[in-house]
């Protein structure tokens, strides 16, 4: 495992349980559920598949700390990552 500064990372897309698509922007410290506005068939970046919740993915897989989850005014689920670093597997 290596630590990567999120300001140098790209966007990451994660497909949870085969149906819930999340866009994670580590530079901005945010994640948003985009299933209703993006189709994985048309994406340039292939989403990572993960069986579990976005909370599990960010906290257990990426080792992000101080993550806050809520629904936006538009009904989409969101997360804010308040830690400057997350851990990434090579």
Query: Average pLDDT of the chain?
Result: 75
Could you tell me the two tokens for 69? Answer: 């989850």
What is 33-90 written as a DSSP string? Answer: E-TTT--GGG-SSPPEEESS-HHHIIIIIS---SEEEEE-TTS-EEEEE-SS-EEE--
The C-alpha atoms of residue 90 and residue 83 are separated, in whole angstroms, by: 20
- What is the tens place of the pLDDT at every residue in 25-39? 888 888 888 888 877
The pLDDT value given to residue 26: 84
Cβ within 8 Å of residue 26, ≥6 positions away: 6, 7, 9, 12, 81, 86
- 89 versus 71: the higher-pLDDT residue is 71
Domain ranges of the chain: 2-88
């Amino acid at each position: 495992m290596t630590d990567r500064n999120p300001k140098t990372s790209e966007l990451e897309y994660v497909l949870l349980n085969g149906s819930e698509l999340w866009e994670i922007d580590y530079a901005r410290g945010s994640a948003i559920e985009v299933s209703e506005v993006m189709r994985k068939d048309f994406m340039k970046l292939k989403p990572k598949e993960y069986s579990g919740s976005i909370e599990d993915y960010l906290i257990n897989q990426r080792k992000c700390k101080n993550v806050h989850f809520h629904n936006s005014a538009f009904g989409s689920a969101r997360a804010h990552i308040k830690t400057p670093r997350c851990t990434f597997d090579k």
